[in-house]
A and B are shown apart, each in its own frame.
Chain A
Amino acid sequence: MKKVLEGSHAVSEAARLAKVQVIAAYPITPQTHIVEALSQYCSDGTLKARFINVESEHSAMAAVIGAASGGARAFTASSSHGLAYMHELLHWASAARLPIVMAEVNRALGPGWNIWTDQTDSLAQRDTGWIQLYCEDGQEVLDTTLQAFRLAEAVNLPVMVVLDAFYLSHTFEPIDVPDQETVDRFLPPPSPRIRMDTADPCAVNQLVTPAAYMEMRYNTQLAMEEAQRRLVLIEKEFETIFNRTHGLVEAIQCEDAEIIMVTTGTVTGTCRQVLADLRSQGVKVGLFKLKLFRPFPADLICRHLKSAPKIAVIDRNISFGAGGIFAQEIRAALCNQNPHPQVFGYVAGLGGRDITPDTLVEIYNHTKNNPAPAEETIWIGLNQETVESWNN
């Protein structure tokens, strides 16, 4: 049934339909609407789950780790400083091989305090062993959250469903909310690999010497590689049942493109319009949406991007001293292709600054007008007067 919902409630509806059993969460703007709704569902009996009002995000992740170790389908949501505070436990969750699902609302890190969207928070967690999926709109958020439980439980790794603050978390859209029966066909009750039991006592997450640690990490890497293959199958099954699909990546008019714009999150929606406008003027431009970031789909990136002369990657994030994070990884994926495209890396829209169609046209024109990138990272929309006033 179609409902007009904000992105946050696309998440909470999906968690309800997934029949999560334990939720632990700590409030942070802009994640609050997700956990408020779930709290209400637990309170009124719509959802038969335990909601643990923990005293911090560090404890939120620790509590869902405890719950998942007890075999429960566990969920949390966070953002920005909350996610950063969880960092230690993010490593713990993946190394413990627990199928936890978390909604992560992309928000800038302070100082200065900034509640608006920015991807640096989730990308700073790229090495923690979490599967990361970046969503474009409310429907994709709902569908991806449902798929996330299937994926997490298939490969025993935690999954982060990522959505932009406000542009997505607080924006209302018509969203198809499937009925429980249909979701149950797609997502059966959990049959966890790890489920602590006094009848079969064992120690989990214990001390491990150099004799076995490396093999454990190798297994996690294998599971990550398996996750990409599994997600393809899960998407196919999802399409059979729900009649829609989103893809791990999406390549739009890339075959003949002279420049391919690479986007993530809600910027993709804006770029679809820019693409249509430019194509109507006869410009050979393509759009590549990167949804799956961990595991990194290098094969799909090479397949779709390698024959274009130029790639323009839009990063709403920054790794200081290196540049936009998506651009770095895409460059690395393409570097052994011969020939390979010129990769232009653009940093734009940090801390919630709008990325408008004009911003994207500016990026396109810059890419078109330069034979090769003059620098690793090109900043778009900087107010040079402000920058200079601080540096004098």
Chain B
Amino acid sequence: MLSKNAGILKYDDLMNPGHLGCPGCGATIAMKFALQALGEKTMVVIPACCWGVIAGPYPQSALKIPILHTAFATAGAAASGLRAALDMRGDTETTVLSWAGDGGTFDIGFQSLSGAVERNEDCIFVCYDNEAYMNTGVQRSSATPYGTQTTTTPADKWKKTGKKNIMEALAAHRIPYAATASIGYPEDMMRKFEKAGEMKGGSRFIHVLATCPTGWRIGSEMSVKIARLAVQTNVFPLYEVEGGIHYTLNFEGDRNVNEYFTSQGRFKHLADADIDLIQQQVDAEWGLLMRKAELSS
């Protein structure tokens, strides 16, 4: 498997074998690519999330870089403190990478993230987004999309509100760099992490869609394929925002959302009319994004 990717790998793998990720875990793949781009002069701050478990129990660690595990709401603040300590040591070279799930970014961690990026802290803030509280057994978060069944939005109480647009929220802070990335497009993802790594001195945010076979009710072998479909249907567009206002689109999808929604157990209750409505929402969001990109060009 490694040989397929050998052309794009720069560093020795910074993950140890034997991590605790589920088979097909998108969050685990995301970390592998992120560290390939950032290298070993990186410290990662992990709040409560799947990665708090994936990284392994004492006395083991799944990563070959330092990890600061921290409380659920605190990734932005703990990363800020660690950054300050490194700066006081005269070390401005080491990258502080905050690595939170959607709960630790969209919900409980939003306040400390907002505070950190408003201060323009010199860190990379990543949300690996598996679109629900997967570590606790698939409860809905504000990153859970319209139409999703979770254990707290079960049966016909499936989620009737849309996914919070976290990229817009972060762009509204006018930070130097914000980007979306997908484990289905590793070259694009690694380019963005490399770019973020080089843009030292301010806050950088990367929103990674990380498929979760367990919570999305897909086969573990489908993880990358579903991640690609999300991009190809414009459900999860790949784009970058510089300075909060300059938009660049990286990929234009042309497939019907039907392909994405009918291939996952979490959406199997949706009727054709529901999916038609979702298509309209996706088209409207995509149109808005295109206009922003046009304004920037």
Contacts and interface: CB of A to CB of B under 8 A. Distances in A.
A338 to B, nearest CB: 45
Interface in A231-271: none
B88 A49 contact: yes
A178 interface: no
Interface string B52-89: 11011110010111111111011011111111111111
B78 A63 contact: yes
B45 A66 contact: yes
Nearest to A196: B66
Contacts of B77: 24, 54, 58-60, 62-63, 66
Interface residues of A, number: 42
Interface in B98-148: 111-112, 114-115, 118-119
A62 B70 contact: yes
Nearest to B62: A203
Interface in A67-103: 67-72, 74, 88-89, 92
Contacts of A48: 88
Given A70-B81, A197-B66, A203 B61 contact: yes
Given A50-B84, A52-B80, A66 B89 contact: no
Given A66-B79, A205-B70, A198 B111 contact: no
Interface stretch (A167-175, A179-187, A207-215): A207-215
A12 to B, nearest CB: 19
B74 A59 contact: yes
A323 B275 CA distance: 61
B57 A201 contact: no
Given A52-B81, A59-B77, A198-B42, A204 B67 contact: yes
A207 B53 contact: yes
Given A56-B111, A66-B81, A72-B85, A208 B66 contact: no
B57 A206 contact: yes
Given A59-B111, A203-B63, A205-B70, A50 B119 contact: no
B177 to A, nearest CB: 21
A163 B240 CA distance: 50
Nearest to B78: A66
Contacts of A89: 71, 74
Nearest to B94: A198
B43 interface: yes
A120 B70 CA distance: 27
Contact of B70 (A24, A54, A65): A65
A64 B57 contact: no
B111 A55 contact: yes
Indicate the member of B45, B65, B68, B87 with the most A CB atoms within 10 Å. Answer: B68
Contact of A62 (B52, B65, B74, B89): B74
Nearest to B85: A70
B283 interface: no
Contacts of B63: 201, 203
B80 A203 contact: no
A227 interface: no
A54 B79 CA distance: 12
A53 interface: yes
A196 B119 CA distance: 23
Contacts of A144: none
Nearest to A207: B57
Given A66-B81, A70-B86, A72-B85, A206 B61 contact: yes
Given A62-B77, A202-B61, A203-B69, A67 B112 contact: no
B187 interface: no
Contacts of A196: 43, 66, 68, 82
Contacts of B86: 70
B80 A54 contact: yes
Contact of B89 (A65, A70, A204): A70
A22 interface: yes
B66 A63 contact: no
A377 interface: no
Contacts of A203: 55-56, 58, 61, 63, 66-67, 69
A206 B56 contact: yes
A72 B65 CA distance: 19
Given A62-B71, A203-B56, A56 B112 contact: yes
Contacts of A22: 81, 84-85, 88
B41 A204 contact: no
Contacts of A53: 119
Nearest to A63: B81
Contacts of A106: none
B68 A66 contact: yes
Indicate the member of A53, A58, A70 with the most B CB atoms within 10 Å. Answer: A70
29 contacts: A21-B85, A22-B88, A24-B84, A49-B88, A52-B119, A53-B119, A54-B77, A54-B80, A55-B112, A59-B112, A62-B78, A62-B81, A62-B112, A65-B78, A66-B70, A66-B77, A66-B79, A69-B85, A74-B81, A89-B71, A198-B66, A201-B61, A201-B63, A201-B64, A201-B65, A203-B56, A206-B67, A207-B52, A207-B57
Given A66-B45, A203-B55, 14 more contacts: A22-B84, A24-B80, A54-B80, A54-B115, A55-B112, A59-B74, A62-B73, A63-B81, A65-B70, A72-B81, A72-B88, A196-B66, A198-B42, A205-B69
Interface of A: 21-22, 24, 48-50, 52-56, 58-60, 62-72, 74, 88-89, 92, 196-198, 201-209, 212
Identify the 7 closest CB pairs spanning chains A and B, nearest first: A70-B85, A66-B81, A55-B115, A62-B74, A59-B77, A63-B81, A62-B77
